[in-house]
Amino acid sequence: AQSVTQLDSHVSVSEGTPVLLRCNYSSSYSPSLFWYVQHPNKGLQLLLKYTSAATLVKGINGFEAEFKKSETSFHLTKPSAHMSDAAEYFCVVSEGSSGNTGKLIFGQGTTLQVKP
Amino acid sequence: DSGVTQTPKHLITATGQRVTLRCSPRSGDLSVYWYQQSLDQGLQFLIHYYNGEERAKGNILERFSAQQFPDLHSELNLSSLELGDSALYFCASSVSDLRTEAFFGQGTRLTVV
């Protein structure tokens, strides 16, 4: 069965410094992987997705993630944090290929704090 | 705006009561997923419908049920409510049933008192 582990529950960075949010996945199949962001009292917004094309995926708001099969990782990065990036980030795997559902399996989330 | 509409946004009800949450998917999307978000459990998958057919069930209690109608909107029914059912309930839709990204509504915040 698929699963995701977000290695940090809380990450704190200063504005203008790089962001790294770590995610490892477990999947018996070639996975579809996503990062979603949730701002306080808001719904979930798709940041980016990996679906077996390029291993380096670019998303919205300057975020990108690299799929590394050998490390079963899909870490999210951004070169320079902005105050508006403060939110909860979820690494997600789609159950896809097995069974008949594309249900999403969420990691526990990483809270990103951005200090001025 | 994701294009997924959930109503109501907030709901306060008493224990033992029954409520219905409604979801309208994005135009053209055939899949609807329901998720529950709580502080202790995180985001938990409840159920998936594709073009009116149930495709998968997750951690959905027997007191909860859902359906997807011919116009593709979906309803999640929660009955015999308990304090522990208080949570944010999200609906998401996607164009197909496998391996595609899902788009989430703003959620319904349910408070059981």
Does the pLDDT of residue A99 top 70, yes or no?
no
- Between A32 and A90, the more confident residue is A90
Section A62-86 average pLDDT: 95
Does the pLDDT of residue A67 top 80, yes or no?
yes
According to the model, what pLDDT value does residue A8 have?
96
The amino acid at A97: S
Q: What 3 state SS string does A84-114 have?
A: HHCEEEEEEEECCCCCCCCCEEECCCEEEEE
Who among A46, A95, A106 is closest to B103 (CB)? A46
- For residues B84, B107, B50, B45, the Cα torsion angle rounded to the nearest 10 degrees is -40
The answer to which of A2-16, A43-57, A61-75, B20-34 has the lowest mean pLDDT is: A43-57
Distance CA A68, CA A6 (A): 15
Does the pLDDT of residue A74 top 90, yes or no?
yes
Half-sphere exposure of A63 toward its Cβ, with a 13 Å CA cutoff? Answer: 23
Helix and strand numbers (H, E) in chain A are 0, 12
- DSSP track, B16-27: T--EEEEEEPPT
Q: How far is A115 from chain B (nearest CA, A)?
A: 24
CB contact under 8 A, A90 and B102: no
**Rounded average pLDDT per 10-residue block, chain B, 113 residues:** 94 97 96 92 92 91 96 97 96 85 94 97
Residues of B with Cβ-Cβ distance to A25 under 8 angstroms? none
Who among B48, B96, B105 is closest to A43 (CB)? B105
CB contact under 8 A, B58 and A103: yes
Q: How many angstroms separate the first and last alpha carbons of chain B?
A: 31
Which two three-digit tokens encode residue B36?
């529950």
Section A51-58 average pLDDT: 85
According to the model, what pLDDT value does residue A63 have?
97
According to the model, what pLDDT value does residue A54 have?
83
B5 touches chain A (CB under 8 A): no
According to the model, what pLDDT value does residue A95 have?
67
How far, in Å, are A77, A107, B36, B110 from residue B86 at the CA level? 34, 21, 9, 5
- H or E element in which residue A77 lies: strand A73-78
pLDDT band at A102 (very low <50, low <70, confident <90, very high): confident
CB B75 within 8 A of CB B22: yes
Residue-wise pLDDT for A8-22, tens only, equals: 999 999 999 999 999
The answer to which of A17-31, A73-87, B5-19 has the lowest mean pLDDT is: A17-31
According to the model, what pLDDT value does residue B41 have?
84
Widest distance between CA atoms in chain B: 38
Burial class (CB within 10 angstroms; exposed 0-12, middle 13-18, buried 19+) of B20: middle
